[in-house]
């Protein structure tokens, strides 16, 4: 596993982009509290989530699936 895919918070989960999440995981992400700073479309395009603790990483570049 690449170190940049490891969660910075828990160290156990993997950071996954929107297109790598399962349908159930996407539903969890939709329900997470979001910063007013980012639109949902921007979050989908540029953020990654830990599939263990649901830490949300924001970055400056879009993630391609």
Query: What pLDDT is recorded for position 2?
Result: 52
Q: Cβ–Cβ contacts within 10 Å for residue 15, how many?
A: 22
Taking the C-alpha atoms of residue 52 and residue 65, their distance in angstroms, rounded to an integer, is: 20
pLDDT along the chain (65 residues), means of 10: 80 95 96 89 95 88 47
Query: What pLDDT is recorded for position 64?
Result: 45
Query: What pLDDT is recorded for position 41?
Result: 94
Spacing of C-alpha 11 from chain mean position: 14
Query: What pLDDT is recorded for position 7?
Result: 95
Taking the C-alpha atoms of residue 57 and residue 46, their distance in angstroms, rounded to an integer, is: 9
User: Considering the entire predicted model, what is its pTM?
Assistant: 0.81
């Amino acid at each position: 596993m690449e170190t940049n895919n490891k969660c910075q918070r828990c160290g156990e989960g993997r950071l996954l982009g929107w297109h790598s999440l399962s349908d159930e995981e996407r539903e969890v992400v939709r329900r997470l509290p979001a910063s007013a700073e980012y639109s949902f479309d921007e979050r989908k395009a540029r953020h990654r989530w830990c599939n263990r603790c649901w830490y949300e990483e924001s970055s400056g570049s879009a993630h391609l699936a």
